[in-house]
Structure 1
Amino acid sequence: MGVTGPCGPCTEIHIDHVPGRQFAAAKVNMGCSDLTEIWNLVFIQYNRSEDGQLKELPCRHVDTGMGLERLVAILQGKRSNYDTDLFQPLFKAIHKFSRNVPVYQGQFDEEDTMGFDTGYRILADHARMMTVALADGMFPDQNYKLRRVMRKAMLVSQQKFGVECGLLTELTNYVADSLGDAYPEIVHRLKQIQLIVNHEEEVLRLLRLGAAVDWQEIVSVKPELSNLDIVEMPGLIAGYHELRAYARSASVNESLVARKSTVPSAAIRFEEKCIEKKIKENTELFENSIGSASVMIPGKLTFKLYDTYGLEEDVIIELARVEGFQVDVNGFRHLLNAAKVQSKESFRSEAENEQMQQIFHQLIKLGLNFTEDTQKYYYKKENDKYVFPPVKCKVKAIIVSGKIVSRIGPGTQCSVVLDQTNFYHEAGGQASDSGQLVMKDGTQFHVTDVTNYGGYLLHHGSVNKEGNDICVGDIATAEVNGDDRLGNMRNHTATHLLNAALRKIITVTYQKSSHVTESSLVFDFSVYGETFYVQNVEQLEEMVQRCVHAATPVKRYTVSADELFSLENVTLVPGEVYPEEKIYIIEVEADGLFTSREACCGTHVLNTADIRDFCIVGMKNAGSGTRSLVAVTGDYATSALQEGQQIAEKVTSLHAEVEYFLSSNVSAHEAEQLDMKLQKLKQKLAIGSHTLPFLVSSEELQKIEIIGKKLKDSARGCLRDELETEMLAVLANNQQSFLVHFLQCSSMIDSVPLQKATRMCPQIPVLLVAHSEGSVKAKCCVPKTLLSETFNAQLWMQPVLQVFKSEGAAPRGQDPCLVFNMKGKKLQPADFNTLMKDALQSATKFAELHLGPAKTQEQS
């Protein structure tokens, strides 16, 4: 099956499509289109190690595979799969919807000179494959190979059949007709399949528009690369540039090394500079030099081009060939095989580190059975309260610091393996239970969490300090923390309802992940071909709340794998591997709303009414087309909804207060006080602490923005009067031959018109500082008659810039000696008073030094 691993002898059955031909066996596996293999049986009995040795396997089996289409061709008397009734309807559809192309001729290899028949086969094959894959729940953004297959089909549709878009979507109808009886999910999900195909065509179109220009520039210089399609390989441009960058550096090093044996060291350094200069100034000359150089692209870089940029080996070799380089293919393949092995080992190390493997084997050697945990589902409701019956169990093993021991003392941190338990271990996105194991003598082992290791459930925790030793063989009572378990159950069931409601309002969506704890749930999902808006959050919340209030039973039952795939509208997690038997199904049929039916091993409430309340408290983007919702249930939801109501009332009250002030000729100071209230409330809404309903936060934030805008507009309206009043008062009291002043009225507005203020004092040098929305800025003007070598606007602003650690510049087209501005600089509130005082003092001292001290009373 591969270079290493399970293998064995095989027997094959081939069919010769040429009647009466002799010696056909000589052509077996030689790539002849008229000699077809229909069956292959491999007798797996060895394991091939890396050194090539074959070792007998303890268990043997037969790996058999037969081609359905090939068998159909034989039964229908056809020479090729493509001549059967499985493909002919697709070919007719392609011809019908294409533009001026010949009908399918059944030509192969050199006979198909124009490539049309090859195009027919690619398009039909790919249409079948991707339709079935999409019906099975695969998504292009999660499976790169599926996306490549779809893009290949789209390109063939455009290049061979002249159809820019829509042909692949049309073919899904014919695939549904052909395979719908065997795969009914294709018919049920045809609308979703077609939406995904249309979306991928649009993504491809935009990608080609964006990348085509850059790639065409490369192809214009290297026309040999025109056979490579940028659309099939989004990382092609970046990978190509990295390959050339390496070749450049390698060529430079090679040139320098060649000179070191004959050139003095000083000359070498001079030569290095010359080469660097040539690289920068004369690309064409440089490329001619590396084109003739024998540059080897190492395996490490080749693997990076493959792994990071998605370039296949043949593409990398082609890029290197065009550039005149060679590729270390053997080094690349060695790294590729090593990466595959490492990937398996790293996956294993996350769940099965070496220490735990040893423990696992020791537990097996001790003859311990796996932990029986079905009693985690044995709970009931009595007198409107959930009851989680305790379970009598026996301590089978104790693990301390990676070692199996027979006894532990008080306060010891360890893991305990039981023969049976009612604790839920972390799985399916649901957090594990917590609780305690109570020994016969009253000693308690506090369980913080539980993990599953190969069937053994490890109860992690510690013995209470007041207790006695715990020994292997002790009898205990396992008691689950009922409040935490109920919180987990509420949030897990709510996650299912949220998923079902989402599928009801969005045409194509799928769950990417979920995380359930006793206090909240996080649900990540992707949306195809649509945009998920705030209004959708409102729909989801309302639908789930209606289902909760409808008091709908939550059913749990088990099915086999065969029964699972025969169920209608069952939600499966893409990529999840399900067991052959005993698959748990959680089902909620909410009349008039939706049906939730999911394969799930988690624990759930018995009735949706037990969720009590539901509230979405957060939403964020988690990538392209992906959203993450945070929601709460039970008391958490009730508390969030109540706090949301209080916030809404505060915003309404503040709105009324603002309207009253606006109608009463509000002053800048009063407006500032109101704005501070608004900002404080806005900050609370924007914290994102998940204590408020998301809809309330969004809606009230919008209201605050509107109120704040009204307030600022009003402040701007009266600013001219406030500014004029303040400046006149300052000028009247000014005892100096210059003016340095902080504008008090600036704190209320977002755009301070400093130019209007400086115009009010054209005869004297003026430096004004303003502070608005956490940012400080300044402007200074100096009359032309007062300019000197030591005093001008730019020099005067320097001490202010130093205090605020900011930058400055003159307005465009103006003399910096006459006018100079400080760019806005954000300040921390705690630093404001100190920095402002220092800036004003520094500016005043500079002016006094160059313009003289303050006027006397008589002079004024």
Structure 2
Amino acid sequence: MKSQDIRDKFLKFFESKQHLIVPSAPMVLKDDPTLMFVNSGMAPFKEYFLGNADPKKNRIADSQKCLRVSGKHNDLEEVGYDTYHHTLFEMLGNWSFGDYFKKEAIAWAWELLTEVYGIDKDILYVTVFEGSDDDSLDVDQEAYDIWKQYISEDRILMGNKKDNFWEMGDQGPCGPCSEIHVDIRSAEEKAKVDGKSLVNMDHPQVVEIWNLVFMQYNRKANGSLEILPNKHIDTGMGFERLCMVLQDVQSNYDTDVFTPIIREIETISGKGYGKDDKTDIAIRVISDHVRAVAFSIADGQLPSNTGAGYVIRRILRRAIRYGFTFLNQKEPFIYKLTDTLSKQMGTAFPELKNQKRLIENVIKEEEHSFLRTLDQGLLLLDRVIENSKSETIAGTKAFELYDTYGFPLDLTQLIAKEKGYNIDEAGFNAEMKKQKDRSRAASASETSDWVVLKEDDTEEFIGYDTLVVDVKLTRYRKVTSKKDGEQYQLVFNMTPFYPEGGGQVGDKGSIEASNGEVIYILDTKKENNVIIHIAKNLPEHLNDTFRAEVNEEHRRLSASNHTATHLLHQALRTVLGEHVEQKGSLVRPKSLRFDFSHYAKVEPDQLQQIEDFVNARIKENLPLEEQRNIPMQKALDEGALALFGEKYGDTVRAIRFGQSMELCGGTHVPNTGDIWHFKIKSEGAIAAGIRRIEAITNMVVGDYFETIDKEYQALKEVLKNPNEPVKAVENLQSENADLKKQIEQLLKDKAKNVKGDLKNEIVDVNGVNFIAKKVDLDASGIKDLCFELGGELDNLFAIFGADNNGKALLSCYISKSLVAEKDLNAGTIVRELGKHIQGGGGGQPFFATAGGKNPDGIEEALKAAKNYL
């Protein structure tokens, strides 16, 4: 049975059980500060479990793409070494929100596995929660009794809290669970070892395929449990593991989910899969990681140096270095796999086809960049080995390679071992622990339970229509962190404050009590569909009625920039082409940032056209046409643009200014004329195929032009107030160029004169023409001097030092014959001598330079040079 058929059968089965089949949510999360990525099938439905929103239907099923590479659920380092852990995986799931419970969940799971898929009952085991003294919980007898109807009791195993009690996090809905395990070992192996002894023991052929979670409790901040008013079902079945069972293979990587990618890696690398352990691990790592990276880019998360982007970059770099080390791939190749991936999974996940070109370009550029970094790291490692005073390289140096160049310990160990060295692994681990401890300390926070003052299901946002309204506080909680100290998160029955989202920053403002007490709102965010107002203090009278007021200027300027991003998007598509798609934005009161897909530099004349286009729309005074709660498909049919990676509901908000129409939840000006003016400040690449424009609008443009005018007047004064300032600058540039040529000629003449004097100072040392001298030349002059002397004299070993404006310079030239005969290396020598001038350098074996900040050390360096002979 092909993987596509397996997925389809699951969805059709639950459709027949009156479940609504929904598409996979984007893997990159944007309104949940507790998670970077969807790491389980239930993550997109958290707001329903928390009671913050109502689902479209009480029964839902889907196939959700998940990523586990950070935080509590981190499988990254296991990927490739075993055959059943992955970074990206599909989670087949069925959900009940206060509808059916254990009886139906267990019955349907058994029916699907044994009757629809035809899995032999005799290879299945199930686990049931055994209870926990910590929480005063008894064995899950209800689940046990239901399972007895389907499977013999000797195949029902008791599981501990770690394996059989599922929790969303430190707080929130949770409950006991039943896992279904499958034993696909041979009959001979089963005869030797009973399968039940291998359940949850990380055996590659005795694995969990489905987890049925019975959400019936809520974990409070103090660790206690309370019973939920409504009970829920949350199940997750590993799609790749299910394919392994149904395709009768012994590894997830032997299923048709992975084999097309593996075959392509074999073709590119010339290495066969299944012949060598290290090669096999590398191929598994790459075939897994390219999926994770491709899906992340398709969902809008580009590799970067921070946050979720850093995680994606780390995954890709892990794949690159495995190819570099074990498949001998020194040039980009992983990007070539995206074509196979899109053909394999593009039907179920069309975003892979739609974003294929972008995915290829981003991965290829990242490969180029990291391969250059690897080369730099290898040079640094060579230097570390050269300078090591023993055969053990310090753990701090190995960690520096890891932290700065992305060199993992195993790669450093491999290269060091080839050169006869080993690594102080304990020292490396100590440095790694220090870094993790620093990271944990910086991000550590403590969040209390919500204190509910008033039950209110609405908590309505009314900020599109008003900036001032009377509100009641419905709940609050305290959050303490090292970064922000003690803060309070407030929720009101209604709010005019726009929460951060869609690239737009959250509103600021205040709430005022009836007694005149003012609490300032520092920021507004959205978490699992709840609008949270962040304040430093808590109101004295919690049950009072408060006057909530948004900072009008902050909102007005943010709205101006947000509307400008829509007009900019339209301009880009008009000037550059309809291939342009928004890939991110940041809308603040004083500036806007807009990222978009485009595969070439935007030329100056194109930028001017774009700027002119936006300003023309501003001058047209286009009114805001807003449609709230319009059906999603109707909006798309009318021409609205939707963004990849965004999560939309059945009904959406559509914003139109003239011919610009987009789905958007942000705030906007009533009329484009309110923007006043639009000015592009910069344009550049941020990734392969992704450009970024930074711009300003409104009063910030006025400030900008005022500053420019002041600088212009100051420049005219410097130029003696000419009538034609541009021509005056051009004349200065011409004069400067002429003077530079004269100086260069004078320096060349000076170098020739110096050369004649220096030839008389060259001495013979063991058959080598040697000179070490401080000279009054710049770097270019010294280089010319070295090569002219080298062309006239054989066996030359020359060291020259110079003090250039307080900076020390050393240059070393060695005739190529000496490099070969006497094993001399100019690069190694200047690195050593560079210590005298408090600097470093490098170069080729016959010519190298070093720079430093201590000119007083030049003489010592020159004296030390003779020791090499």
TM-score (norm 1): 0.49
Structure with a larger share of its residues in strand? 2
TM-score (norm 2): 0.49
Which of 1 and 2 has higher RCO (CA within 8 Å, sep 6+)?
2
